[in-house]
A and B are shown apart, each in its own frame.
Chain A
Amino acid sequence: MDLTPRSAPEPRSTSRRLLPILVAVLATVAGLVIVVMFLTSSIDYYCNVDEVGVRDGCDDTRRVRVQGSVDEGSLQMRAGNTSFVMSFNGVSLPVDYEGEPGGVFQECIPVVAHGRIVDGVLMATRIEVKHSNEYEAENADRLEEAEKSACS
């Protein structure tokens, strides 16, 4: 006995068939772009201040991303310009930034500055704050403790 259904099941419309294939192709392309970005940007996201001009890939002759802590008392903000000194492992680097850094930027906090070094000053075009993984309640005692210990 022939039990084959007389009418074949309705085929899925072309758009319904193509959509998942299109999404899969887009995901593959996006994946490749992400891998390229990872290889060119993510590995060793920054150089520490003491590595500039010393470590391979941290040449001071090209655009760099430098990480260090903002020195206490070095921060100056005037006429939309921000300047400060950042340090790491006892080595310091003056930074000049056209604008006001966002986030929780303040003295004694680690930052990553992007830019070029001109005459020993990092002319930054972007400042990112690199906060710690410690979370403490904001109250008077802790604020005092944090301020005291932040730059120690």
Chain B
Amino acid sequence: MKTGTTTTRVLGIFALLITTWVVVSAFFLTPADVVQGDSVRIMYAHVPTAWIAYLAFVTTAVASGLSLVRKHRTLGFDRVAGASAEVGVLFMAMTLITGSLWGRLTWGTFWQWDPRLTTTLFLFVTYVGYLAIRRVDVDPVRRARRSSVIALLAVLEIPLVHFSVVLWRSLHQEASVLNTDGDVRLDDLMLFTLFSGVVAFTLIFVWLVVHRQRLAAMSDVERLVGLDVAITARRAESTVGGGGI
């Protein structure tokens, strides 16, 4: 059994092409920043990974809500929720790592307990805990119910993280694009490359989630098939032994 289809292959190729464009543009075409110099190039990875992590956690919450409401599709939605959270944690880890490197180059420090950094780390740890909780329960239906409630609570942290730079005094700069006054404070090519990065990472996110949830579905099917095999074996035994109902 495979997890790939024509659609996912096309999606993968598009993701690869746009990612290649982002890398070329980020390193060779976009200008250095007037204050930050070349270190600004980290932005083309840092900002999209943060946005996609938000998207992943919102997807997890939506799938979790549907998992609770649509009882006949509980496990299907739960698999999407779990897959999206896994990919989200991966992107959030990349956000923290790239942010730390960028911080060292511009602020002069890898880490500070400022509001944005602290709330982002809290969000990351919350979803690591969520993934751990998912693996504690063996029963898939109970796992789906429990993790859905956690996902619906955890997603409330995202506005806190995003607006932390407005709500409190922070070392981290305010948003340059999704800010409260609606101004875009980026050079044209910088903005286009950043937008391309968001598109590329979104395609990668969708590609990863589709494959991961299909793998989870296969794993569930394998468990069910195992049970079917056991039942068939017992039926065969009772037939051979001449037993009946």
CB within 8 Å of A: which of B160-201?
168-171, 173-176, 179, 185-187, 189-190
A28 at the interface (CB under 8 A from B): yes
Interface flags, A52-92, vs B, CB<8A=1, else 0: 00000000000000010000000000000000000000000
- Chain A residues with CB below 8 A from B114, complex form: 41-42, 45
- Chain B residues with CB below 8 A from A5, complex form: 227, 230-231, 233-234
- Asked if A102 and B108 sit within 8 Å, CB to CB, the answer is yes
Interface flags, B113-132, vs A, CB<8A=1, else 0: 11100110110011011011
In the complex, residue of chain A having the shortest beta-carbon distance to the beta carbon of B223: A9
Interface flags, B204-243, vs A, CB<8A=1, else 0: 0000000000000000000000110011011100100001
**Given A23-B132, A34-B121, residue A131 in contact with residue B169 (CB < 8 A):** no
CA distance in complex: A142, B128 (Å): 44
- Asked if B106 and A104 sit within 8 Å, CB to CB, the answer is yes
B35 at the interface (CB under 8 A from A): yes
- Chain A residues with CB below 8 A from B132, complex form: 20-21, 23-24, 27
- Asked if A128 and B190 sit within 8 Å, CB to CB, the answer is no
- Chain A residues with CB below 8 A from B112, complex form: 45, 128
Interface flags, A11-40, vs B, CB<8A=1, else 0: 010000001110110011011001101100
Total contacts A-B at CB 8 Å: 163
CA distance in complex: A67, B170 (Å): 10
Total count of chain B residues near the partner, CB < 8 A: 60
- Chain A residues with CB below 8 A from B186, complex form: 134-135
In the complex, residue of chain B having the shortest beta-carbon distance to the beta carbon of A138: B32
- Chain A residues with CB below 8 A from B113, complex form: 37-38, 41-42, 45
Total count of chain A residues near the partner, CB < 8 A: 52
- Asked if A2 and B234 sit within 8 Å, CB to CB, the answer is yes
CA distance in complex: A137, B185 (Å): 11
In the complex, residue of chain A having the shortest beta-carbon distance to the beta carbon of B190: A135
**Given A37-B113, A104-B35, A146-B35, residue A130 in contact with residue B125 (CB < 8 A):** no
CA distance in complex: A47, B93 (Å): 30
In the complex, residue of chain A having the shortest beta-carbon distance to the beta carbon of B103: A103
- Asked if B128 and A101 sit within 8 Å, CB to CB, the answer is no
In the complex, residue of chain B having the shortest beta-carbon distance to the beta carbon of A103: B108
- Asked if B185 and A131 sit within 8 Å, CB to CB, the answer is no
CA distance in complex: A130, B115 (Å): 14
Interface flags, B83-110, vs A, CB<8A=1, else 0: 0000000000000000000001111110
CA distance in complex: A1, B232 (Å): 12
- Asked if B133 and A109 sit within 8 Å, CB to CB, the answer is no
Chain B residues within 8 Å of A, Cβ to Cβ: 31-37, 39-40, 43, 104-109, 112-115, 118-119, 121-122, 125-126, 128-129, 131-136, 138, 168-171, 173-176, 179, 185-187, 189-190, 226-227, 230-231, 233-235, 238, 243-245
Chain A residues within 8 Å of B, Cβ to Cβ: 1-6, 9, 12, 19-21, 23-24, 27-28, 30-31, 34-35, 37-38, 41-46, 67, 101-105, 109, 112, 126-139, 142-143, 146
